[in-house]
Structure 1
Amino acid sequence: MDVQGTMKSVVVEPTPAALAARVADRFLSRLIARTRNGRIAHVCLTGGSMGGAVLAATADDPRVADIDWSLVHFWWGDERFVERDSADRNSLQSRTALLDRIPVPAENIHEVAAPSDGLTLDEAARAYADELARFGAKGEAWPSFAVCFLGVGPDGHIASLFPDRPEVTVTDVAALPVRDSPKPPSERVTLTRPVLNASKRVWLVLTGADKASALGLALAGASYAGVPAAGAKGRRRTVFFVDEAAAAEVSPDLIDRDY
C-alpha cells in the first residue's frame, strides 16, 4: 500500500461554505486528472447538508464543462430505503445538487432500489451488491472508487455503519440491509467497510462543534467498532475536510495546509 494510504490528514476551512468550495475544487481536479486520458472514474457520494453543499459547489464551477461525464459513474455509500421522490433520499439530494445539472448518462447513475421497485430491503441490498460486482476491479466484487465521500455523525458513524452494531464488522458482502437504524429513517442499505476502504481516496467531510469529539477519536485511532469513522481509509489518501468548529480538538501537525 502507498504509505499515504496509512496516513490521515486534515484540511480546515473557516466556514462550511468555504469548506464546500474547497472540496468541490479538489473533486473537480481529481475528476479531470482521472478522465483526461479516457479512464473511468467511479465516485461514491454521501448525503447530509455538506454532501449536498459540495455537489452544488461542484455544479457551479465552470470546469464541469471540461469533464467527459460519460466516463464518470456515481454510487452512494448508503441509501435510505424510501421512495425516490422522498426528501430523505440521498440520491434525490445528489440529483438536485449536481447530477441533474450535468450531462451524465442515466446508466452511469447507480441508485439503490426503492420500495416501489418491488424489492424487499434484503433484495435491494443484494441487488446493489450485484450491480457493484458488474464493475468490479481486478477480480474484486466492487469497483475501486476514485473518490469516496463520507459524512461523519456526532456518534462517529459513516454511511449507515453505526457504532457497536453488527453491520460494522461485516466483510464478506458488499452491501447490507440496515433495520432499526439509530437515525431515521429506520430502513437503509449501506456499503460495507471493505468496499469503502477499497477507494483510492476517502474524503470525510464534516462541520460543526458537535462533530469535534468524533473527529478527535477517529484521528486518535479509536476502535472501528465503536467509532466507525476511525476505520475509514483510502488506499492512497485519507482526508478529513472540516470547518474550524469541528477542528477544535485536532493536533496542528495533522493539518494539511496545501492539499
Structure 2
Amino acid sequence: MAARRVVVFPSSAELGPALAHLVTSRAEKAIASHGRFTLGLSGGSLVSMLSKELLALPQLDCSKWVVGFCDERLVSFDDPESTYGLYKSQLFSRVNIPDSGILTINSSLPVNECAEDYTCKLKEAFPDDDIPVFDLLLLGMGPDGHTCSLFPDHPLLKETKKTVAPISDSPKPPAQRVTMTLPVVNAARCVAFVSTGGSKAAILKEVLEGREGPAFPAARVVPATGELLWLFC
C-alpha cells in the first residue's frame, strides 16, 4: 500500500473545500484514465459537508460518475436514516449524475436478499473486477471505531468472500443494514476517512497509533495498493 497521509485542518471550514477538491481531482484523474469515476459514499455528517462543498463549485460535471454506498440502512428512501435519501435531497437532485449511475439498495427486500441484490448491482457496475475497485471511498468513523457498518468484535470483520454483507444485529440502530466488506474497502484506489469534532480524538489516536487488543475496524482499513488518507479537524 501507499503511505498513509494524515491531514489536520483547523476547522470544517477548511476541511470542506479540501474534501471537495479531493473528490473532483480524483474524478478528473479517473475519467482521463478509464472514462468514468467510481465513488463510494458514507452517511453521517459527511452528507451535508460534501453536498454543500460540491454544489459550491462552478461547472461541476457529474455525468460520468458512478456512485455506490459503503453501507446503507435497511429503511425506505424517505426515512431520515436513509443515506441515499439524504444524498438525493441534498446533492443528487441538484447535479447531473445519471440515475443509472447511482447504485441503490432495494430496501423492500429482506436484509440477506438485499445484500445479495446489491452484490449483483456491483458486479454489473464492475464487470471486469473480481472485487469492485472504486476510485475513491469516503468513510466515516464512529466513536467506537467502527466504519461502514463494520463494528468492533463483529464476525463481519473476518468476512473474506462476500462483497456486500448483511447485518441484522447492528449495535447502532437501525439494526438491519448492508455493508461493503473489508476486501472491497481495501481494494479501492483511494480511501479517505473524514472525521470532524473533538469527541473522537481519543479513539482516533488509538486507530492511528494502535492499541493493545484487537484493532478497531477503522484501523483494519489498509488498502492493498491504493492510498489511505485521514482528513480531520
Equivalent position of 2:94 in the other structure: 101
Is 1:233 aligned to 2:222, yes or no? yes
Equivalent position of 1:121 in the other structure: 111
Equivalent position of 2:81 in the other structure: 88
Equivalent position of 2:202 in the other structure: 213
Over 3 Å counting, the alpha-carbon distance change for 1:46 and 1:149 in structure 2 is same
Residue 209 of structure 1 aligns to which amino acid in structure 2? Answer: G
Answer whether contact 2:73 2:177 (CA < 8 A) is retained.
yes
Q: Deviations over 1:172-223 (max 9, x none)?
A: 0011111121111111110100011111000000011221122212212458
Deviation, structure 1 residue 8: 1.5
Unpaired segments of 5 or more residues in structure 1?
A: 244-259
Match of 2:45, SS state, is helix
Match of 2:66, SS state, is strand
Q: Deviations over 1:60-97 (max 9, x none)?
A: 21141xx3x33210000000000010110001111222
Answer whether contact 1:125 1:177 (CA < 8 A) is retained.
yes
Kindly tell me the number of residue pairs found equivalent between the two proteins.
232
Match of 1:180, SS state, is coil
The correspondence for 1:166, drawn from 155, 159, 178, is: 155
Q: TM-score, normalised by structure 1?
A: 0.84
Q: Deviations over 1:19-61 (max 9, x none)?
A: 1221112211211222246612110001001333123211221
Is 1:74 aligned to 2:64, yes or no? no
Structure 2 distance, partners of 1:57, 1:40, is 21
Equivalent position of 2:123 in the other structure: 133
Is 1:188 aligned to 2:181, yes or no? no
Over 3 Å counting, the alpha-carbon distance change for 1:223 and 1:179 in structure 2 is farther
Unpaired segments of 5 or more residues in structure 2?
A: none
Answer whether contact 1:59 1:97 (CA < 8 A) is retained.
no
More helix by percentage: 1
Deviation, structure 1 residue 171: 1.1
In percent, how many aligned pairs have the same letter? 31
Is 1:53 aligned to 2:49, yes or no? yes
Q: TM-score, normalised by structure 2?
A: 0.93
**Higher mean C-alpha deviation, range 232-241 or range 146-155:** 232-241
Residue 70 of structure 2 aligns to which amino acid in structure 1? Answer: G
Moved over 6 A (4+): none
Over 3 Å counting, the alpha-carbon distance change for 1:231 and 1:51 in structure 2 is farther
